[in-house]
A and B are shown apart, each in its own frame.
Chain A
Amino acid sequence: MAFAHLTSLLRNLFHKQREERELDEELRSHELLLADEKIRAGMNPQEAHRQARIELGGLEQVKEQVREIRAGHLLETLFQDVHFGLRMLRKNLGFTAVAVLTFALGIGSTSAVFSVVDRILFRNLPYPQDNRLVSFGLLAPIERDEFMLGSSYVDFRREPGPFEAITSMNPGTTGCDLTEQNGIRLSCALVEQTFLPTFGIQPLLGRNFSLDEDRPNAPRVALLSYSLWTSRFGGDPGVLDKTVSLDGIATRIIGVLPSTFEMPTLSAVDILVPQALDEAQQHRANPGVVLRTFARLRPGLDVPKTIAALQPWFDKALAGAPPQFRKEIRLSVRTLRDRQIQDVRLASWLLLSSVLAFLLVACTNVANLLLARATGRQREVAVRAALGAGKRRLIRQSLTESGLLGVFGALAGSWFAYLLLRLFVSIAPQGIPRLDQARLDARVVIFTLGITLISTLLFGLAPALQIPALDALVGKDVRATPHNFLRQTFVSAQIAISLILLAGAGLMLRSLWNLENVRLGMQTENVLIEDVSLAQYRYPTPEKQLAFFAELESRVNRLPGMMAVALSDSLPPSGRMRSTILAAIEVAGRPLFNEGTGGSVAWRAVTPSYFAALDIRIIRGRTFQPSDLLANEDPIILSETLALELFPTANPIGQQLRLFRIPGPWRTVVGIAADVKNDGLATQAGPEFYLPWKNDPVESLNEGYVVVRTRMNPKAVAAWMRAETSELDSTLPVNIEAMSQRVGKLTARQRFDAMLLSLFAGMGVLLAAIGIYGVVRFLVEQRTREIGVRIALGATPQDILKTVLANIGRWTMVGSALGLFGAWASARLLQSLLFQVRAHDPSLFGLALVLLIVVVFVAAWIPARRATRVDPMVALRYE
């Protein structure tokens, strides 16, 4: 039956004419048969035919009833509208192209930005009831994420207070090695037994580890990530209960994580292994290890209530903390989303709102185009209205045309969105959380459809509601004042929005420029960095590790064109570096510093040529010398800031220091190095000290950097270094990059924000210019006769130009004033994203205003000039 319906629908759509003819014939034959019948009954033929016609009733009515019965009636009128709409669009290809392109730019940018910020702001995290997951614990000046110390955590987890469930993991991930045939470097996370249940994650295969397996010295078990399972084990379910060698320890695989699994810290992980926290040892070691702690809130408890409920426990716990911590530590509970996106939330909202503003500009532009065309078509529409087209039908027709523009615009826009997204990924590979996951998926498509619909209504409704009065039939050129008012309002709105976008982009660009030109304290040009991460199983002892680094350094040193080659365990301006607290530095002849922690102090172990390689200035004293590497020498170099903090008045050179609050050697300050940014670009350089990289094997050092300053082509040098490294150890992954590139990554997000905002501002100004051009051109065309009369009466071209431009000038002023006000109000919200720029920087605002006014003037001047060339004779005979 459904099939019969469908075929009749198709038949009706495609055999419309034949059906209509057949129905006609059938009814005619019916009439004739009726007449025949009456003639046979003895009626005279003429009367019989008359009677037959009467009996048949209104022929048209019967036909209409039959048509109505047929399926697809509504569809057919839609089909008609679409058909007609397509014809109109084809007839006016220039208009169609501009409208579709404009709309595509708007829709495409919006979709692309949405697909990025959706992951950050809106989309659920891949955990059930993700809004109840929090990161909780302590915050200290030296640590930007919540943590707990082992000794207090093991007590707390017995009585998890206001939480439904809590769990912990060791901070970060650790490199671990699958030590089998073709062993590989993996990243492992150590998590508590409660980790998966708290996040609500079910293993895809197998099970979570048990409490017993999470005890110290229990036989080691592990869960594989989905990608490791498929890439290494071919997705074989038989992998369960298999024993593999992980860092040389026999480890039984007990489960596989689902493909959607991600760590709450967003770090990539291949294997989960039990944390195996030793309670007794944590108590003994008080305060114990640092743990990342997460929890699931009780239903109905929000973050503030939870903090209030935790406060008494916190106060009690703090009473037992070492005194220097007490002042600086505070309690913190944050939703998991907040922890993950950190400070990107504001930037994401900024991008989303600026792209929506841009979409609004695009929509008003299309609306303006449609209005202009509607004025041109007034007579046609009036004719159709006079011929009996209902108002509703006319509105529907007009909306169908806008809808068609919307559909084409959305299609072209999706393609544009795809290109933009690829551009985004190439601009900011690491700057934006989850950017690598951004796709044009079903959610984005639905969003795109939604905004297309809303935008189509926005720009389609204005012309649709302007059904002309019948006067238009008379053929007089009706001065459609409401149109003009609407169009000029649109222009003002475009100018206002463009100005806001321009000002915002200006602020962000200026801030980016400041950030990229920040004084680093070192020279990054011509510096190459090789990041070396040694596999524990191949280099199990510090001796072997140090031997490798020493060999690599001497090999690289022998390469041609080397100006300086150095080793370091970490590198500025950001990244993992070792740190201690100021209170742990003991100055000879002074009591220990006991007021708080004093903040964190970074330190690095470096070889003597480190300062030369990075061109870090030695302000006083000397740099390290080869003799400093001897076992009984203990020199130290301080950064300028640290030197000032420790020795505000005295000469630091020659002073004795002892570090880490352990009975180590007294160290002699031999030099003061200039400050180097070591905590990102935007913050002041923190205090820092350098120790010599000694070849005395005390602690494990499986991660280090070779720093090279060269006068040769960096590409060639990188290739040589790669060759030398693989000659030493062919299994080692080699990672070489330019120092400037490494620093550039730090501004990736700011560059992303600034570039996107500039893109939207630029496109917004361009569209506003197109809009103004269109409006002025239209005004000039409409007023050709009037202008002709004026010229005939002796007006000079300058007078005409003035009249036309004065008109647009008024609307520009209104738009600029609104825009300045809007920019002023919204800039305040940007302040926290800006680096060394005042949000209300008058020179930037002025620049944006001047730029916009120049563009507006040029866009208005080109068509206005036409007005001055009007030939009065032609104009007066016009039409």
Chain B
Amino acid sequence: LRQEQTNLLQGTLDMMILKSLALKEMHGLEISRRIGQITKGTFQVKPGSLFPALHRMEEQGWLVSYWGESENNRRAKYYKVTSAGRRQLEAETKRWDRIALAIIRTLEAS
């Protein structure tokens, strides 16, 4: 059960990162703020989970990174979704929809 839970959470974080990056390329802090904004503060992504996730996703080929300038002219590492990443987002979204639907039905049934 525990394994599934973490998988679910990990999958969720990946999905939220991919979703945020789908709009535009961002650096780490922007991604973290964006997720906080979308979820209205439900998820506060800490660097300790954000950076390992970003590096892992980069290794899996879903993201690519490059060095760029932030709005206030600081050097920052930007991440960009690859086509593999987009496919992953699609797959994850579908899977998530299915799970969500199933959960809703379960709740309604009882």
Residue A56 at the chain B interface, CB threshold 8 Å: yes
Complex: A61 Cα to B51 Cα, angstroms: 11
Which of A1, A33, A62 is close to B27, meaning CB atoms less than 8 Å apart? Answer: A33
Question: Chain B 8-32 against A: per-residue CB contact (8 Å), 1 yes, 0 no?
Answer: 0000000000000000000111000
Nearest CB of A to B106, in Å: 33
B contact residues around A25 at 8 Å (CB): 75, 77
B41 adjacent to chain A (CB < 8 Å): no
A854 adjacent to chain B (CB < 8 Å): no
Interface residue A34 (Cβ < 8 Å from any Cβ of B): yes
Q: 15 A–B contact pairs at CB < 8 A?
A: A1-B61, A8-B59, A25-B77, A27-B51, A29-B27, A30-B47, A30-B51, A30-B76, A32-B74, A36-B74, A55-B46, A61-B48, A62-B52, A65-B48, A65-B52
Contacts A33-B74, A36-B72 given; does A26 touch B28 at CB 8 Å:
yes
Q: How far is the CB of B10 from chain A (nearest CB, A)?
A: 11
A30 touches B28 (CB 8 A): yes
Q: B48–A29 contact, CB under 8 A?
A: no
Determine how close the nearest CB of chain B comes to the CB of A94; give it in whole angstroms.
Answer: 45
Q: Write out, one digit per residue, whether chain B residues 82-98 have a CB within 8 A of any chain A CB (1) or not (0).
A: 00100000000000000
Binding site for B on A (CB under 8 A): 1, 4-5, 8, 22-23, 25-27, 29-30, 32-34, 36-37, 55-57, 61-62, 65-66, 68-71
Provide the residues of chain B in CB contact with A61, threshold 8 Å: 48
Closest residue of chain B to A56 (Cβ to Cβ) is B47
Within 8 Å CB of A29, what residues of B? 27, 74-77
Chain B, 40-93, CB within 8 A of any chain A CB: 46-48, 51-52, 55-56, 58-61, 70, 72, 74-77, 84
**Contact A34 B29, beta carbon cutoff 8 Å:** yes
Whether B51 lies near A70 (C-beta < 8 A) is no
A32 to B73, CA, bound (A): 11
- What chain B residues lie within 8 Å of A23 (beta carbons)? 51, 55
List 8 A-B pairs, minimum CB-CB distance, nearest first.
A4-B61, A8-B59, A33-B29, A26-B77, A65-B52, A29-B76, A69-B52, A69-B56
C-alpha gap A26/B84 in the complex (Å): 24
Asked if A66 and B77 make an inter-chain contact with CB atoms under 8 angstroms apart, the answer reads no
Would you call the interface of chain A mostly helix, strand, loop, or mixed? helix
CA distance A65 to B59 in the complex (A): 14
Closest partner residue, chain B, to A9 (CB atom): B59
Q: Which residues of A contact B75 (CB under 8 A)?
A: 25, 29
**A5 and B59 within 8 A (CB):** yes
For the complex, give the distance between the alpha carbons of A4 and B77 in Å. 20
Closest to B46 in A: A57
CA–CA, A65 and B72, complex, Å? 29
Q: With a CB–CB cut-off of 8 A, which chain B residues contact A8?
A: 58-59
Find B47's partner among A22, A36, A62 (CB 8 Å cutoff): A62
- Flag if B52 contacts A57 (CB, 8 Å): no
| Cβ-defined partner of A69 (8 Å) among B55, B72, B74 | B55
Task: Verify A66–B61 contact, CB threshold 8 A.
Answer: no
Q: Please report the C-alpha to C-alpha distance between residue A36 and residue B74 in the assembled complex, in whole angstroms.
A: 10
Contact B51–A4 (Cβ < 8 Å): no
| Option from B29, B46, B84 in Cβ contact (under 8 Å) with A37 | B29
Q: How far is the CB of B37 from chain A (nearest CB, A)?
A: 13
CA distance A273 to B38 in the complex (A): 88
By beta carbon, the residue of chain A nearest B56 is A69
A198 and B27 CA atoms in complex are apart in Å by 76
Q: With A29-B75, A32-B74, A33-B27 known to touch, is A57 a contact of B47 (CB < 8 Å)?
A: yes
A386 to B60, CA, bound (A): 39
Q: Which residues of B contact A68 (CB under 8 A)?
A: 52
Q: How far is the CA of A32 from the CA of B75 in the complex (A)?
A: 10
CB closest chain-A residue, reference B57: A69
**Which residues of A sit under 8 angstroms from B51, Cβ to Cβ?**
23, 26-27, 30, 62, 65-66
Cβ-defined contact, A4 with B60, below 8 A? yes
Q: Are B29 and A30 in contact (CB under 8 A)?
A: yes
B77 CB contacts on chain A under 8 angstroms: 22, 25-26, 29
List the B side residues contacting A26 at CB < 8 Å. Answer: 28, 51, 76-77
CA distance A33 to B78 in the complex (A): 13
Chain B residues with CB under 8 A of A66: 51-52, 55
The complex places the Cα of A1 from the Cα of B87 at a distance, in Å, of: 13
Measured CB to CB, the nearest residue on chain B to A30 is B28
B55/A1 in contact, CB under 8 A:
no
Q: Are B47 and A55 in contact (CB under 8 A)?
A: yes
Given known A55-B47, A57-B46, A62-B51, contact A1–B74 (CB-CB < 8 A): no
Q: How far is the CA of A56 from the CA of B29 in the complex (A)?
A: 11
The CA of A1 and the CA of B48, in the complex, are separated in Å by 25
Please report the C-alpha to C-alpha distance between residue A831 and residue B58 in the assembled complex, in whole angstroms.
72
Known: A25-B77, A29-B75, A30-B47; 18 extra A-B contacts, CB below 8 A, are A4-B59, A4-B60, A5-B60, A25-B75, A26-B77, A29-B76, A30-B27, A30-B51, A32-B74, A33-B27, A33-B76, A55-B46, A55-B47, A57-B47, A65-B51, A66-B51, A68-B52, A69-B59
A37: B residues at CB distance < 8 A: 29
- Interchain CA distance A29-B76 in the complex, whole Å: 6
How far is A70 from B48 in the complex, measured between Cα atoms in Å?
15
Residues in chain A near residue B46, CB distance under 8 A: 55, 57
Q: How far is the CA of A70 from the CA of B60 in the complex (A)?
A: 10
**Inter-chain contacts of A36 with B (CB < 8 A):** 72, 74
Q: Which residues of chain A come closer than 8 Å to B47, judged between CB atoms?
A: 27, 30, 55-57, 62
Also in contact, A70 and B59, with CB within 8 A (given A30-B47, A62-B48, A65-B51): yes
Query: Which A residue sits closest to B61, measured CB to CB?
Result: A4
